[in-house]
Structure 1
Amino acid sequence: MTKRTFKGSTYKRCTCTQPGTKKQLGSQCPKLKRANGMWRSNHGTWSYQAELPKRHDKTRRTRRRHGFASQTDAQNQLDKIADLVELGERRGDTTLATIGDLIDNRLRTGEPFPTPEEVAKQLDAGNTSLGAMPTVGEWLTSWITTRKKIREGTRIAYQFHITNWLTPHLGHYPLDALTVDHISRMFDAMDERNDTITAARNSDDPEIRKGVRGLRIIGAATMQRYRATLRTALNAAIRAQKITFNPATYVELPSGRRPKALLWTPDRVERWQRTGEKPSRVMVWTPEQTGTFLDHAEGHPYYALFHLIAYRGLRRGEACGLPWWNIDLPNRSITISTSLVQLGWRTEFGEPKSDASGRIVALDEASTLVLRRQKKHQKQLRAAAGDAWVEHELVCTEADGSPLHPAKLTDAFHVIADAAELPPVRLHDLRHGAATLMLAAGADLKVVQELLGHSTIAITADTYTHVLPELARETAEAAASIVPRNQRRNRPNVA
């Protein structure tokens, strides 16, 4: 195929319809030409039809475009296509098909055609894609590998989403062809998987139950995170002028709002003991239950960290990565500026979770005393280790001074909580206990927000909306029980 043999033509058409049938006459409308056979300039518009180079799989592709004001305008577009096709002919079938992809993509997006000289320069430089529209999978791979200024934990989460669901379900679609419906069907597949797992768990067949052991239901909040990853990647595609519309924004999903924190009240503890069911994913110990845990944890190598999490609301990574140089014992304060983050099993030091996470935390007298004791204990560990000691200047370490793996802190927490026969909470919920203690003491939500390092007070309010009135009721009951009453004398007179 060369410019001389390139198959393309121009024609004129209009939108007039046939009386009775309403069928468009198109190029057959008699009003398009005058009686002398000349085209009328005030009726209809010009179009062209082009036979593009065959695809890589040898299938044909014919394209038509309409709405040109003159035949010259339509022919100019055909000539540009023909010039590009001629360049491809000189470079072989593979390049010809790729140039056909380029032309096809520009026709879809409305972008102007590059000149043959521009395309030749790209080919000579080894660029064989010629800016053709990537698939969703290709774009996701390119986006995640070139993304800068991103926390490693976030990168791992993005990669997990891409590998496990986004690419398998959406990766084959051209980026500009991805629709809201395509994405919705992926989430429908997640729901179907959840139903399958639930049914298998409830099966009477032990082999079927065994087959889904370890598989987790994909909850509403997790679905929201998958959509957020895709939406972020597609926004980057918009900035790169690959697409103009982000379909992920318009997919309807359950809200996935964070679960409300609930206190382990006596009634809830009793029901949990009977059924084994937790009323909420986020359960919080009462101040008395927190005290029971700390009593059982006293003397444990990690006690100082448990105490700081329970009293001052540090996150696990903030506690494990807390250096002595960020602690001002004379002025009783901690500066949170580092975190030991778990990435799979690997750990690394990084910045706190968000800007709000970097904060100064005031220390109470008891916490200050715990840290002084920990410093004394660590001197003993350093002396015992001798030359084997690895100095990291962290508050809590392994016996040789190396950083404490966050997972080990979690494991120790559950062992102690089980031994104390306490209702189940996560280690992260021990941090919620710090908020509970402050709310019980009458602290304002804004103060609790700053203590915990929440980015907005809305997060604090959403999490502790249910805890606050329950604490108030418990306080009211405790206050009422202090007042001695003579029950006989205060019985109502029913005579």
Structure 2
Amino acid sequence: MTTPRDTPASRRVRANGDGTVYQRKDGRWEAAGYVLAPGDTHKRVRVYGTTRKDALAKLTEKIATSNRGVPAPSAQGSVAAFLTYWLETVAVHRLRENTHTRYTACTRLYLIPGLGKKKLAKLTAKDVRTWLDQLRTTCQCCARSLDTTRDQAQCCAIGKCCSKRLSPLTLAYVHSVLKSALEHAVREEEIPRNVARNVRMGTPRPRRFEPLTTQEARAFLAATSGHRLSALFELALRTGLRKGELLGLRWEDLDLAGGTASIRRTLQRTNSSGLTTLPTKTQNSERRIALPTPCVRSLEQHRDQQHQEREAAGAGWKDSGYVFTRPDGAPIEGATLTRHFNTLLRRASLRRIRFHDLRHSAATLLLEQGVELVVIKELLGHAHIGVTATVYAHVRLRLQRDAIDLLGNALRNPDEAATRPDDGDEPPLCAAPVR
């Protein structure tokens, strides 16, 4: 009588549910079994190996994953096909239009050329990491053939690489777009896990900015005196409002008697609608802020000036309802505001900065005056206080140094202070404030 131990390994009967393993005519081994599929159904999968042990190990892994309740991936197409589907049918309804435009450009320039030909179900963390490492060291002029669009070649066409590589912030942005797309594939049970999340990119250094100092801020305010939009620039420097929030302010949002302003919308240019009104950047950005007294006075003067412009325009006045408009009442373009801002910087003989740096300047000056971080967070409309703390970490370090110096003055030995000659650089102990 033949026992199971005497039966050859290739013909041994496996238990119900363990699948089958057999050798093909080409010499490879094939294992097949049923695993969990999307929709709480089951499907038969096949795996292959050079030996019976390899094929059986692959099938056992898939069955074990199925027993944990993880459905088998159903994606059969390429990464490029899924990214196109995700952008056109999913992301377009969940992202702001300008954000969707940036996602589309990122996908077209980097994701599809690098990973588009790979199968979505077979994409691994190693594939993503290898591609990102290659993208980090690749000159974009050579990779995208930018020399072909230039009148005079500067890089690969003349055999001299200009080493125009992507910045760490751009690499992190590309990685985040891929993670968002694969996360949706996991939610739709196309793939079992998001392999992009297993790739460590490191935290890129935040973009360096040089806010205005106290003296520079005073010079800038002096330069805005007499300008048609002086109230806008003063409001930007004193409250830290974003450019779109300033341009989207309506008179109905202002309570000049109570000294408050309600931030409800932003004015931006989009590809489809042109200059249009959009919701605020985040839910926390929709807020109510207190207006400084100088801003209330300048806004009242601006309102009187706008009434005069309305009378001068007559029938040509475009009643848009915005606080800051062109002389004919139409809303102001962001690029136009930037040109006025750069003109004022030159008039004040100040270094060139971005308009958004007025927002950083307001927060930095408030921090240096000892204002609590949570108050600045509410004023700027940040979603989390960690954002405020991270962006202005350099200011907090400066305040820590000042506090440590004050503590050192308080703990100094009185006898040492009495015998030490006064060089006039430090205040006496009795005059040292303690916060």
Aligned residues: 360
Instruction: Give the SS at the match of 2:94.
Output: coil
- Please list, as runs of the form range in 1=range in 2, the aligned pairs for 1:169-180 lying within 5 A after superposition: 169-180=114-125
Superposed CA offset, 1:212-258 (max 9, x none): 99997522222111111111110110111110021111112131242
Is the contact made by 1:220 and 1:254 (CA closer than 8 Å) also made in structure 2?
Answer: no
The alpha-carbon distance between structure 1 residues 183 and 418, as it changes in their structure 2 partners (threshold 3 A), is farther
- Please list, as runs of the form range in 1=range in 2, the aligned pairs for 1:88-167 lying within 5 A after superposition: 133-147=76-90, 148-167=93-112
Is the contact made by 1:311 and 1:437 (CA closer than 8 Å) also made in structure 2?
Answer: no
Query: Which residue of the other structure, out of 233, 238, 241, is the alignment partner of 1:306?
Result: 233
One-letter amino acid matched to 1:416: L
Query: Which residue of the other structure, out of 150, 154, 175, is the alignment partner of 1:208?
Result: 154
Deviation for aligned residue 1:462: 1.5
In structure 2, C-alpha distance between the alignment counterparts of 1:210 and 1:296, rounded to whole Å: 47
Match in the other structure for 2:191: 243
Match in the other structure for 1:433: 361
Query: Which residue of the other structure, out of 247, 250, 256, is the alignment partner of 1:323?
Result: 250
One-letter amino acid matched to 2:87: I
Deviation for aligned residue 1:300: 2.1
Identity across the alignment (%): 29
One-letter amino acid matched to 2:201: L
In structure 1, C-alpha distance between the alignment counterparts of 2:141 and 2:76, rounded to whole Å: 36
Deviation for aligned residue 1:165: 0.6
In structure 2, C-alpha distance between the alignment counterparts of 1:133 and 1:364, rounded to whole Å: 60
Superposed CA offset, 1:391-448 (max 9, x none): 1111111222111111211222122213322123211111111113322332111111
Match in the other structure for 2:284: 356
Instruction: Give the SS at the match of 1:353.
Output: coil
The alpha-carbon distance between structure 1 residues 313 and 391, as it changes in their structure 2 partners (threshold 3 A), is same
Gaps of 5+ in 2: 35-42, 47-60, 67-73, 143-151, 407-420, 425-435
1:255 maps onto 2:203 in alignment: yes
Is the contact made by 1:32 and 1:40 (CA closer than 8 Å) also made in structure 2?
Answer: no
In structure 2, C-alpha distance between the alignment counterparts of 1:41 and 1:47, rounded to whole Å: 9
> What do you get for the CA RMSD once the two structures are aligned?
4.0
Larger Cα-atom Rg: 1
Superposed CA offset, 1:135-184 (max 9, x none): 11111111111122321122112111111111111111111111222222
In structure 1, C-alpha distance between the alignment counterparts of 2:136 and 2:385, rounded to whole Å: 32
Match in the other structure for 1:384: 312
1:404 maps onto 2:379 in alignment: no
Instruction: Give the SS at the match of 1:342.
Output: strand
1:288 maps onto 2:233 in alignment: no
Is the contact made by 2:140 and 2:164 (CA closer than 8 Å) also made in structure 1?
Answer: no
In structure 2, C-alpha distance between the alignment counterparts of 1:252 and 1:380, rounded to whole Å: 59
Instruction: Give the SS at the match of 2:323.
Output: coil
Following TM superposition, where does structure 1 have runs of at least 4 consecutive aligned residues deviating by more than 6 angstroms? Answer: 38-42, 108-112, 209-216, 471-477
One-letter amino acid matched to 1:240: E
- Please list, as runs of the form range in 1=range in 2, the aligned pairs for 1:421-460 lying within 5 A after superposition: 421-460=349-388
In structure 2, C-alpha distance between the alignment counterparts of 1:460 and 1:243, rounded to whole Å: 36
Match in the other structure for 1:420: 348
Deviation for aligned residue 1:464: 1.7
The alpha-carbon distance between structure 1 residues 109 and 414, as it changes in their structure 2 partners (threshold 3 A), is farther
Deviation for aligned residue 1:344: 6.0
Deviation for aligned residue 1:305: 1.6
Match in the other structure for 2:21: 47
Is the contact made by 1:47 and 1:67 (CA closer than 8 Å) also made in structure 2?
Answer: no
In structure 1, C-alpha distance between the alignment counterparts of 2:214 and 2:129, rounded to whole Å: 44
Gaps of 5+ in 1: 1-28, 52-59, 69-76, 82-107, 113-130, 198-205, 260-280, 478-488
One-letter amino acid matched to 1:31: D
Is the contact made by 1:440 and 1:472 (CA closer than 8 Å) also made in structure 2?
Answer: no
Superposed CA offset, 1:262-303 (max 9, x none): xxxxxxxxxxxxxxxxxxx21111122111112112222222
In structure 2, C-alpha distance between the alignment counterparts of 1:417 and 1:344, rounded to whole Å: 30
The alpha-carbon distance between structure 1 residues 181 and 321, as it changes in their structure 2 partners (threshold 3 A), is same
Is the contact made by 1:317 and 1:339 (CA closer than 8 Å) also made in structure 2?
Answer: yes
Query: Which residue of the other structure, out of 150, 174, 179, is the alignment partner of 1:226?
Result: 174
Deviation for aligned residue 1:207: 5.9
Deviation for aligned residue 1:341: 2.2
The alpha-carbon distance between structure 1 residues 316 and 217, as it changes in their structure 2 partners (threshold 3 A), is farther
Match in the other structure for 2:31: 65
Match in the other structure for 1:128: none
Is the contact made by 1:135 and 1:175 (CA closer than 8 Å) also made in structure 2?
Answer: yes
One-letter amino acid matched to 1:32: T
In structure 2, C-alpha distance between the alignment counterparts of 1:328 and 1:381, rounded to whole Å: 22
1:31 maps onto 2:6 in alignment: yes
TM-score under structure 2 length normalisation: 0.72
TM-score under structure 1 length normalisation: 0.64
The alpha-carbon distance between structure 1 residues 462 and 132, as it changes in their structure 2 partners (threshold 3 A), is closer
In structure 2, C-alpha distance between the alignment counterparts of 1:409 and 1:223, rounded to whole Å: 30
One-letter amino acid matched to 1:230: L
Q: Which moved more, 1:462-471 or 1:242-251?
A: 462-471
